[in-house]
Amino acid sequence: MRTFKMSVLPLSSQFSVKFIVPTKLTFQISETIRKNRLDNFLFEEIKAVSKMYLRELLKNDECTINNKPEQGGYHLQKGDIVEIEINLNADTAMKPEAIPIKIVFEDAEIIVIDKPSGMLVHPTLGQKSGTLLNALSYYLNHENQSEIQNPKSEIVRPGLVHRLDRQTSGLMIIAKTSRAHRVLCDHFQRKLVEKRYLATVGGIVEKDCGTINAPIGHFAEEKRWGVKADGKTAETRFRVLQRFTDKTLLELEPVTGRTNQLRIHCTSIGHPIVGDNLHGGREFSRLCLHAAKLTFWHPNGDNRLEFESDLPKEFG
């Protein structure tokens, strides 16, 4: 049986490793840590595989905290036991691909893009090409593609700060440096970033504005997310922009950032988003959900930036 050693940070600081076997890693959190999201913890401590691969494991409930599957946003506590199995031979390399992308803004540290509906944000175990990160990996390094395999090359690695569902279109910010990524992730955690979405929902929403409070959790057996009594607190604000004969155009503000929150919350009030087959929406050519406004502080701290994207014509 092949064995390996996993390099970790000094055990005297934030955690201790209980034991390591060929594919299963177990960490015991011995102290409260400041940046305590599970995904960030794994990214820092497991360098032998890619972040994309670790994200996929988290998404598929392959990581447990105290014997219970948890997602990447879980906040680690003192005494938690983290267990995860990894495959060191997993092919998770990100292949640069010349895929057209709509760039809204770019400087030395960040790039803002307008993602089309139907594009996956990052590669998964089942799909390793055609994603936004494949496109960005090519775009950000197109002048030195011949050196892409040279570890001494100054390769720009796009850093995801937030995500959009495959079917959701609209604005995303991507970090081009590790410092920008660190700062922006901190801003998202501290809720310094404002996001507004446009959604066409089924039926006529009678209230002009309101707030949806419904906890969201994961139904493991059904492998889906939905309103769940013991789920995590979730809050969405909405405002009616226009009423049509049998549908309503809403502006949505996610106060929290749970998985599929906007889609689940619209369904919970009886108005699923048009095209959302998973949550009861009527059939349509696409999901009518668009990230239309994004406001945030530039990582250098001296500019508050605001970007807007027009309503897709098919929403009307």
Based on the domain organization, do 248 and 268 belong to the same domain? Answer: yes
> What pLDDT is attached to residue 18?
37
Q: What tokens does 170 get?
A: 């609209």
CATH number of the CATH domain containing 53: 3.10.290.10
Based on the domain organization, do 59 and 144 belong to the same domain? Answer: no
Q: What tokens does 271 get?
A: 């108005």
pLDDT in tens, 16-67: 333 333 367 888 888 776 668 899 888 877 766 677 778 888 988 889 999 8
For strands 194-202 and 63-65, give the pairing: unpaired
Q: Which residue range forms the structural domain that includes residue 67?
A: 15-85
pLDDT in tens, 89-115: 554 456 789 999 999 999 999 999 999
6: pLDDT strictly greater than 50: no
> What pLDDT is attached to residue 47?
66
Final residue before a domain boundary, out of 24, 52, 85: 85
pLDDT in tens, 152-199: 345 677 888 898 999 999 999 999 988 898 899 889 988 999 999 999
Cα–Cα dist 280/300, whole Å? 43
> What pLDDT is attached to residue 90?
56
> What pLDDT is attached to residue 88?
61
Annotated active-site residue in 165, 186, 230, 246: 165
| pLDDT higher at 45 or 306 | 306
| pLDDT higher at 112 or 222 | 112
Looking at the domain assignment, is residue 315 inside a domain?
A: no
Cα–Cα dist 298/176, whole Å? 12
Catalytic (active site) residue 165: yes
Based on the domain organization, do 108 and 121 belong to the same domain? Answer: yes
Cα–Cα dist 37/40, whole Å? 5
| pLDDT higher at 146 or 45 | 45
| pLDDT higher at 34 or 86 | 86
pLDDT in tens, 265-294: 999 999 999 999 999 999 999 999 999 999
Based on the domain organization, do 217 and 248 belong to the same domain? Answer: yes
| Alpha-carbon 295 to chain mean position | 17
CATH number of the CATH domain containing 124: 3.30.2350.10
Mark 20-33 as b/e (b = at least 16 C-beta within 10 Å): eeeeebebbbeeeb
7: pLDDT strictly greater than 80: no
Return the HEC string of 141-166.
CHHHHHHCCCCCCCCCCCEECCCCCC
Looking at the domain assignment, is residue 75 inside a domain?
A: yes
Selection from 217, 207, 205, 195 nearest residue 274 by Cα = 205
Based on the domain organization, do 106 and 80 belong to the same domain? Answer: no
The angle formed by the CA atoms of residues 16, 33 and 61, to the nearest 5 degrees, is: 75
> What pLDDT is attached to residue 46?
77
Beta-carbon count within 10 A of 79 CB: 11
> What pLDDT is attached to residue 267?
98
Based on the domain organization, do 37 and 122 belong to the same domain? Answer: no
What is the count of structural domains for the chain?
3
Final residue before a domain boundary, out of 85, 110, 131: 85
Average pLDDT over the chain, rounded to an integer: 84
> What pLDDT is attached to residue 9?
33
Looking at the domain assignment, is residue 250 inside a domain?
A: yes
Final residue before a domain boundary, out of 190, 211, 242: 190
Based on the domain organization, do 208 and 286 belong to the same domain? Answer: yes
Based on the domain organization, do 215 and 177 belong to the same domain? Answer: no
> What pLDDT is attached to residue 143?
54
14: pLDDT strictly greater than 50: no
Confidence band of 82 (pLDDT split at 50, 70, 90)? very high
8: pLDDT strictly greater than 50: no
Based on the domain organization, do 199 and 285 belong to the same domain? Answer: yes
Percent of the chain with pLDDT over 70: 84
Looking at the domain assignment, is residue 94 inside a domain?
A: no
Based on the domain organization, do 158 and 73 belong to the same domain? Answer: no
Looking at the domain assignment, is residue 58 inside a domain?
A: yes
> What pLDDT is attached to residue 149?
41
Q: Which residues are paired to 253 by β-bridges?
A: 237
Based on the domain organization, do 174 and 219 belong to the same domain? Answer: no
